[in-house]
């Protein structure tokens, strides 16, 4: 069983269930038998910030519902010797989550779970086809 640390950053006006997000991360890591100390951060931002990130990292001037940034990708850096596996960061656009939840006729918390799972699977190297 993984010992999971999930720092969550939420732009002030967005209501997210932090405990549920942490639980969703823990359950998925257990399902994939990830063991030891693990950290994955989750940020919930607005469309302006998401568009900025999308432009900078994906070269696309548009918002999106989720971006994930793996610590295993990009330029290699020498990390101090730590016992924690840093998986990376998941960024959600709250306005896009609301639109998606409405379109799919599901609760916002359920859509957040779905996207966190999607992002975490990317960080674990489980890509969808």
Does 36 score more than 70 pLDDT? Answer: yes
Q: What is the chain's length?
A: 129
What was the pLDDT predicted at 81? Answer: 53
Calculate what percentage of the chain has a pLDDT beyond 70. Answer: 88
Beta carbons of 85 and 36 less than 8 angstroms apart: yes
Q: Which domains does the chain have, with CATH numbers?
A: 2-123 (3.40.390.30)
What number is the average pLDDT over the span 105-127?
A: 94
Note the pLDDT tens digit of each residue in 69-99.
Answer: 988 655 545 555 567 888 999 999 999 999 9
Q: What is the 8-class DSSP label of residue 58?
A: H
């Amino acid at each position: 069983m993984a010992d999971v640390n999930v720092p969550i950053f939420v732009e002030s006006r967005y209501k997210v269930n932090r405990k549920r997000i942490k639980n969703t991360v823990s359950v998925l890591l257990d399902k994939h038998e990830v063991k030891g100390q693990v950290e994955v951060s989750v940020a919930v931002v607005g469309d302006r910030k998401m568009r900025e990130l999308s432009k900078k990292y994906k070269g696309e001037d548009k918002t999106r519902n989720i971006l994930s940034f793996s610590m295993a990708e990009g330029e290699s850096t020498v990390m101090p010797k730590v016992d924690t596996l840093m998986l990376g960061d998941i960024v959600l656009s709250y306005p896009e989550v609301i639109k998606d939840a409405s379109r799919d006729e599901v609760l916002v918390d359920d859509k957040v779970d779905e996207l966190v799972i999607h992002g975490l699977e990317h960080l674990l190297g489980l890509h969808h086809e």
